[in-house]
Amino acid sequence: MLDILFYVFSAITLIAAVLMVLTPNAVNGAMCMIVAFIGTAALFVLLEAYFLAVIQVVVYAGAVMVLFLFIIMLLDVDKGEGGATEYKDKLTIGASAIGFLLLVMLVFSAFSGAHLPEPGLTAVTENPEVFNGGVPFTTSSKSFGYSLFTKYMLPFQVAGFLLLAAMIGVIVVSKKHDIAED
């Protein structure tokens, strides 16, 4: 039964992601992204990572997508078809070629047999003090928070700075520029 649910939710996630990329309407693309996020949350539930599933729905499908939709409506993307279509066409072809090459490399590396070594799992003990004074790995939010703010503190901070840079970029793009006509 879990295998069937995995294939169903994987198919929903992949179809929504492909539709998100292929749809010409920005609002429809954002709605497809919400479906992909919810499908990913369902996959987290199948992995019994309930905390990550809830965070996926609340943070990404909720807050981030509301922000994306607000930006799409603020910038009025659909009405902004300007004159530089030749440049956009060349950029689209180049980005499509790079994406296709990355997909080919991914498929080749997945089936070549040269995989990264799997990390060893640490046994969970009944007494947390036995685990080097830390918290043993479990599916609880305490274990997740402990590993996030100790072992993965640098990637967490880098992600925060990237989100800050994206927010500043959104503010700069959304400002109205008064261009004096000749």
Please state, in angstroms and rounded to a whole number, the distance separating the CA atoms of residues 72 and 65: 10
**Has residue 96 been placed in a domain?**
no
> Does residue 84 lie within any of the structural domains?
no
Cα 172 to chain center, whole Å? 23
Residue 115 lies in a domain: no
Task: Examine the fold and report which residue of 41, 61, 76 is the final residue of a domain before the chain moves on.
Answer: 76
| Domain termination residue (choose one: 76, 98, 113) | 76
Alpha-carbon distance 69 to 63, whole Å?
10
* Residue 149 belongs to domain spanning: 128-182
23: closest CA among 40, 35, 11?
Answer: 35
Q: Please report whether residue 104 resides in a domain.
A: no
Distance CA 141, CA 50 (A): 9
Q: How far apart are CA 103 and CA 107, in angstroms?
A: 6
Q: Given this model, what pLDDT does residue 121 score?
A: 57
Per the domain annotation, does 57 fall within a domain?
yes
Q: By the 8 A CB rule, do 128 and 135 touch? A: yes
Tell me the whole-structure pTM to 2 decimals.
0.53
pLDDT per position as a tens digit, 24-53: 887 888 888 889 999 999 999 998 888 888
How many CB atoms are located within 10 Å of the residue 6 CB? Answer: 14
Give the integer Cα–Cα distance in Å for 101 and 114: 19
Q: Is residue 25 part of a domain?
A: yes
Q: What is the DSSP-derived secondary structure letter of residue 124?
A: P
Greatest Cα pair distance, the chain, in angstroms, is 77
Helix (H, G, I), strand (E, B) or coil at 79: helix
At 98-155, the pLDDT tens digits run 989 988 888 887 777 666 566 665 555 555 444 445 555 566 677 777 777 888 888 8
Q: Which of 52, 76, 100 is the last residue of a domain?
A: 76
The residue that leads in pLDDT, 38 or 169, is 38
Residue 89 lies in a domain: no
Asked whether residue 121 is domain-assigned, the answer is no
Cα–Cα nearest to 62, from 104, 30, 100: 30
Helices (H), the chain: 2-22, 26-46, 50-55, 65-75, 85-111, 141-149, 153-174
Task: Answer yes or no: do 72 and 133 share one domain.
Answer: no
Number of separate domains in the chain: 2
Query: Is residue 97 pLDDT above 80, yes or no?
Result: yes
State how far the Cα of 61 lies from the Cα of 55, in Å rounded to an integer.
Answer: 9
Domain of 21, CATH number, reads 1.20.120.1200
